[in-house]
Structure 1
Amino acid sequence: MSAMPALEERQLSLSANLKEAMRRLASSVAIITSRDQDGQPHGMAASAVIPVSMDPPSMLVAVNRDAGLHPVLQRSGRYCINLLADDQHLLLKPFSQTALRDQRFRSDDWRDAWSPADGPLPWLDGAPAAIECEVDQFMDYGTHTLFVGRVVNVRCASAESSTGTTAPQPLVWLAGQRARLVSPI
């Protein structure tokens, strides 16, 4: 058995080190949703969500080409970024594990945005924000496709609820687990 070529070994080491470094980057968590051609909802948990531009308003999501949502996004050309509140953390498990796919949209909190041309798009009522996008550009890079979507609608939870409490804390992920933010003084 021959030794692994130095370049291949270096690449594996670099990938492992980058993965460890990214575990140290706190990020908000979202559920990306869409519908397939038969009208079935699809979704996945994601932290690779980036605002691209405010003019035109646009958002980028990075989706692994092995993810079930990938072919749906390619065909539908539409997605909704549902930013999660900390108290919505229980949604992560079904949207992160293929074996729990049938549990993803069981909650009564899911609504449909409606486009006369394109049909319904699932969004999470109670999410701090839901951002509807139409794919404007996409690019394959490594194991993922980067979908840049033009924002067509934004729903934001009010900053203060009717009970006088402040808006929910965002769900933040750090080192493979939930992290809590401390409000500024």
Structure 2
Amino acid sequence: MTQASTEGIGPEDFRATLGRFASGVTIITAREPDGTAHGMTASAFVSVSLNPPLILVSVDKRAHMHSVLLGSDVTQFGVSILAHDQIHLSNHFAGRPGPEEAVPWREQAGFPVLGGTVASVVCRKQQVLDGGDHTLFLGLITSTEYADREPLLYFGSRYGTLAP
């Protein structure tokens, strides 16, 4: 057990504790200034509000996606919620890339998202908030698609699926 501190807990305790929270796995997508689709794996995805329909993604300030999303011409981003058989995509967009041709890019409402997922949303960038070493991007959902597939879960630094 870690003692309380006015500075908060250390990064090791933070990871060890919050790694015990099971989450889904998402890929955040955006367009580079040259129009190329770019993606990043993220488990920091939260539904914020039903009315209006808002979500939030948290992006490390050191990540390339951070500079892409902060671009003045970037008004949208996408979030694809991965299915149980898409671990390879999570790894691909987390810096362990496989063949780019294996990425099932598709368009939703004219915006790049991934195919074969549990769900995907396209959002209008609504607000940008400082979150320490991360930036929080609040998005208004403008398009959504979903399928009856089993989700990919992440818990304790491992992938998993729902129990039967």
TM-score scaled by structure 2? 0.88
Aligned-pair Cα RMSD in Å: 2.0
**CA positional deviation for 1:104:** 7.1
- Higher normalized helix content (fraction of residues): 1
1:63 matched residue in structure 2: 59
Superposed counterparts of 1:28-177, under 5 Å: 28-75=24-71, 76-97=74-95, 100=97, 103=98, 105-107=100-102, 109-114=104-109, 120-157=110-147, 167-177=148-158
Unpaired runs of at least 5, structure 2 = none
Q: Partners in 1 of 2:53 and 2:10 — Cα distance?
A: 34
Once the two structures are superposed, what CA deviation does each residue of 1:6-61 show, in whole Å capped at 9, x if it has no partner?
Answer: xxx98585332121001111000000001012101111000000001010001100
Unpaired runs of at least 5, structure 1 = 1-8, 115-119, 158-166
Q: Partners in 2 of 1:46 and 1:108 — Cα distance?
A: 16
Q: Structure 2 counterpart of 1:96, which letter? A: A
**Structure-2 change in CA distance of 1:104 and 1:43 (3 Å):** farther
Paired-residue identity, %: 33
1:181 matched residue in structure 2: 162
SS in structure 1 opposite 2:21? coil
**CA positional deviation for 1:78:** 1.2
Preserved CA contact (<8 Å) 1:82 1:130? yes
Q: Structure 2 counterpart of 1:150, which letter? A: L
Preserved CA contact (<8 Å) 1:41 1:105? no
**Which has more radius of gyration?**
1
User: What is the number of equivalent residue pairs in this alignment?
Assistant: 158
Structure 1 residue ranges (4+ consecutive) displaced by more than 6 angstroms after TM superposition: none
TM-score scaled by structure 1? 0.78
